Chain A
Amino acid sequence: MTLLSVLGVLSSAIFSGTSLLYTTLGEIIGQRSGIVNLGLEGVMLVSASAGFAVTAITDNPYLGVLVSIIAGGLMNMILGFLVISRRANQLASGLALMFFGFGLSAWIGRSYVGAKIKGLPRFPLPGSSNLPVLYSSLFNFDLLIYLVIPMAILIWWLLFRTRWGLGLRAVGENADTAFASGRNPLLIRYQALFAGGLLTGLGAAHLSIAYTMNWMEYMTAGRGFIAVALVIFSKWNPLRAIVGALLFSGAVAFQLLLQSSGIQVSPFLLDTIPYVLTILVLIVWGGTRRHTAPASLGRVYQGTE
């Protein structure tokens, strides 16, 4: 294995990990307020297709990113209406949202399959310009990549260092207590879902407008579900999510490298490497008595009589 291939793994881990991390951050916010969104896959698809279509039409990737973000927020509001206002079951509503997203995104993107767009511009990583071209081309990143780690830190700060974050986490732990403290649990859950949707939209935008610069039906290929798993993996902590997203997408890139290097192991088994890794990490990290999952995650807030 050459240095070039190792750097290649790293570079593609960063590219594919970025959309995963944005999405995971969005889901962390939602789950911290007590709502599981199993429809992430659908939200991402709608955001990705809408952003891609707008980029293709206007030739302006920034406008496309903006539309993706807004689409993510709106999709999450559909879930919000169901599980917050209509008090529907979160798991069923999430799955419904996912299938709705499959259909809607296929319709939005139907005339853009295979379209060429001008993606988000890339800038070389400072300092990488001294490397030989072969190497430095691996480290040309777009704006969203540069922003993802600061974003994780920002979300951590919002959740753990601000009054808003304190109230939001309180709703996820015990909505009655949050209500007794003078807060409106319903409003806070809507805010959390909307903010989470914006981040999911950002993740989807990175996927279609910056990374692959392409639209295909079901192009997310399970990323939404992986994001849900990464939330658990990161123990609902945005900073741990950075590690989780990188590790996971690194494992994916690594197994692709193994497959292309012609190793004599079934590709089906190689495909499982990232998941085996996830399970191993959960075994090692799990099992403390400390509370980690928000206590009323998945529970409908009934309000008081």
Chain B
Amino acid sequence: MLTPPLSSKTPPMISMREISKSFPGVVANDHIDFDIFRSEIHVLLGENGAGKSTLMKILYGFYRADSGRILLDGKPAAIQSPNDARALQIGMVFQDFTLIPAFSVAENIALFLPDLDTVVDLEAVSLWIEEMSARYGLRVNPDAMVYELSIGEQQKVEILKLILSNSRLLILDEPTRVLAPHEVDALFQILYSMRQDGYAIILITHKIKEVLECADRITVLRNGCVAGSLLRSNASEDKLVEMMFGRKLSGLKTGKKVIREETALPVLELQNVHTHGEGAETNLEEIDLKVYPGEIVGIAGVSGNGQRELGDVVLGMIECVKGTKHLFGKDVTNSSIQKLRRSLVGFIPENPLTMAAAPFMTVLENMAVTKTWHYALQGGLTMDWKAIKADVENTMERLGFSFSLNIPARSLSGGNLQRMIIVRELTHDPRLIIASYLTRGLDVQSTLAARQALIQARDDGAGVLLISEDLEELFMLSDRLIVLYGGRIVGSFTPDETNYYEVGHLMTGSEVQYASNS
């Protein structure tokens, strides 16, 4: 790996000075100084709600700072809008995506191309995207509609959008949280080669391992202030965690992995389930799956191989065209979502903002929407808001999460939104939990808490279907592991029967054998 010039003698490319920004009730950024150098990967760290995204949106012109200055090569730069930032060749991948579901991938990318012709030749753009995405190892289908794509594929489109936009300063806000390991590698290879060519890169991530792998310089934010800025060579995991939270964290108590009782009635049983998707969506085929009470079944697979469909078909968001679905032994193949929810099914979907939250409603209202029957008073004429608040606060305390309940969901930080969904879905002790990308966007501490809560639920006898691309998480939490590829189950193991290597191979389809499973 090339060692870039790190001496602070080279002047910074961009300096942010004394940047402050408040939203009603919070100071998101409080007099922040932040320097970005050429040929550097600068990682921005901090707990959920620390103000990282806000600071980057100010740099990109999406928000305007209340006070402070931005200097480009020492000269003041007026960045009032993304248009100004883009003119200075600053580009950004947003944490909450800026993709238009009704547009094709090619149209979405074209929208962000700086030198797009007045008359757009979409076919040429498509061909070019296909070529570039293959070259960078981030394959996407340019003709697919974005609403057909899984979350991981959407993330790849976002990254491509940035790479193709010809920027000198690249801001990536949590680009890796839904990528498969080989895609993260591909992304880092791109970033390394851009760094070598003199680009400046700002990366936000919560995965400390990634930070230590690729960072040249690290800045930690805490409560809207800079807690410290240091070079990679001076950083260690413990030091970073302490800077972020002001204290050390304890480890995860995974408890004993249970051997499931074959005699018990499965919480969930899918028999020969098939689904039928539109366009570029994946079809599930011949899915046979049982989840017993008191076990966590991990679903491994590269995003886009049927995980979203699996979660959706269990909850009933999409139809089983063939096969049956049983919940606690009862046939629920054609039951409504409401009925499943009432049988205590918790569902954490892969994209909380579009699939689980009403962005313009308050957090508290969002907490009530999935259980309106439970809180209805006078036959539904009013709602028992006190009880909702009490229940929610109870769960929040159990998980150690805190966020405001009276603001619209859309103004929560990315991690707080995920916390909101987790709190909602774990309230009322669900008997079956379907969790996709459970720890998406969560900081280290919240990740621990969320995983601990899942283990607790399992120990209390709930069945859990955990969908993830993070093999480490799957191996740590699962009692049983299932690999999905191309909409089929291609492997079924207990974690100690297998290893990352074998599962990784199955996930990428390099060794496809249809394994029969129970």
Contacts and interface: CB of A to CB of B under 8 A. Distances in A.
B118 A162 contact: yes
A169 B110 CA distance: 13
A181 B102 contact: no
A163 B116 contact: yes
Contacts of B112: 181-182
Contacts of A289: 278
A4 interface: no
Given A180-B82, A181-B112, A305-B64, A295 B102 contact: yes
Interface string A281-305: 0000000011100110000000011
B83 A182 contact: yes
A182 B116 contact: no
B119 interface: yes
A161 B100 contact: no
Contacts of B145: 290
Contacts of B60: 180
A179 B101 contact: no
B63 A305 contact: yes
B453 to A, nearest CB: 33
B262 interface: no
Contact of A179 (B62, B117, B120, B278): B62
B98 interface: yes
Contacts, number: 74
A178 B102 CA distance: 14
Q: B101, B107, B118, B120 — which one has the most chain A CB atoms within 10 A of its CB?
A: B120
A180 B98 contact: yes
A166 B101 contact: no
A163 B63 CA distance: 25
Q: A163, A178, A180, A304 — which one has the most chain B CB atoms within 10 A of its CB?
A: A180
B102 A173 contact: yes
A176 B57 CA distance: 12
A183 interface: yes
A182 B101 CA distance: 19
B100 A174 contact: yes
B98 A166 contact: no
Interface residues of B, number: 32
Contact of B98 (A162, A167, A176, A295): A176
A136 interface: no
A164 B64 CA distance: 26
B259 to A, nearest CB: 43
A181 B167 CA distance: 13
Interface string A64-87: 000000000000000000000000
A305 B23 contact: yes
A304 B60 CA distance: 12
B40 to A, nearest CB: 24
A180 B122 CA distance: 21
A304 B62 CA distance: 7
B119 A163 contact: yes
B120 A182 contact: no
Interface in A254-305: 289-291, 294-295, 304-305
Q: B98, B111, B112 — which one has the most chain A CB atoms within 10 A of its CB?
A: B111
Contacts of A163: 116-120
Interface of B: 23, 57, 60, 62-64, 81-83, 86, 92, 94, 98-103, 107, 110-112, 114, 116-120, 122, 145, 147, 278
Interface of A: 161-164, 166-167, 169-170, 173-174, 176-184, 289-291, 294-295, 304-305
Given A161-B120, A180-B82, 14 more contacts: A163-B118, A166-B107, A170-B103, A170-B111, A173-B102, A174-B100, A177-B98, A177-B100, A181-B82, A181-B98, A182-B82, A295-B102, A304-B64, A305-B23
9 contacts: A163-B118, A164-B118, A173-B101, A177-B99, A180-B62, A180-B92, A182-B83, A184-B83, A289-B278
